[in-house]
Chains A and B, each alone.
Chain A
């Protein structure tokens, strides 16, 4: 079974530029999560989708971050414009059922973003 795919794996941009990350979850997984992991910290949830609907985006900085999951499959996360403090690893995860802590989340390898 293929895992969660993410691209690109690495991205370097200058502040105020825009960047987009792509995630393809495990086939058939209804729930998709985007996390931000700053160096030395644990992952922090940014947004979670159930199918193509947003379930929780309370921790997403909506002035610069946006995400979509059209057709309820793959998803994109965009930052516009980027700030230095956005340098982090962006992790995508998916789970089979509805958003519950008992549903195992499967993580992709992440996209490492460096903002100069």
Chain B
């Protein structure tokens, strides 16, 4: 049973425009959320995270928004660059009860074209 869902398997965006990647979750106990980026033949790398006590976290071109009532989070990349082309995984944790176990979505392949 997928507790973290990324319903868009792919997204294509022109360079310089905004990329918006979406993620939904079903477990109301999740209180910490992360985004990982993965290039081919490499392991995922941490990108940005947000705690459930916040609704927004920003790091340079990357901003994550959390809507707890909708159980939805999104990653905004502005402006998008060709080097951002990768698979983006959303992950969530309920921290206390599972010692930080991360539940990952299936990923969204982002392609940024010139």
Q: Which residues of A contact B (CB under 8 A)?
A: 4, 40-45, 48, 55-56, 91, 93, 99-110
CA distance A48 to B98 in the complex (A): 11
- Evaluate contact between B101 and A105: CB separation under 8 angstroms: no
Which residue from A4, A48, A102, A110 sits with its C-beta under 8 Å from B49?
A102
Q: How far is the CB of B109 from chain A (nearest CB, A)?
A: 11
Chain B residues with Cβ below 8 Å from A99 are 99-100
Instruction: Provide the bound-state CA to CA distance between A41 and B95, in Å.
Output: 22
A38 to chain B, nearest CB (A): 10
Question: Is there an interface contact between B89 and A43, defined as CB atoms closer than 8 Å?
Answer: yes
- Which B residues have a C-beta under 8 Å from some C-beta of A? 4, 32, 34, 36, 41-46, 49, 89, 91, 93, 95, 98-107
Contacts of B98 in A (CB 8 A): 56
Q: Among the listed B41, B91, B101, which residue makes an inter-chain contact with A42, where contact means beta carbons less than 8 Å apart?
A: B91
Give the contacting residue for A105; candidates B41, B102, B103, B106; CB below 8 A: B102
Contacts of B32 in A (CB 8 A): 101-102
Please determine whether A109 and B43 come into contact, CB atoms closer than 8 angstroms.
yes
Q: How far is the CA of A107 from the CA of B102 in the complex (A)?
A: 13
Which residues of the partner chain B approach A45 to less than 8 Å between Cβ atoms? Answer: 101-102
Q: Which A residues are in CB contact (< 8 Å) with B102?
A: 43, 45, 101, 105
Contact B4 A42 (CB under 8 A): yes
Contact A100 B43 (CB under 8 A): no
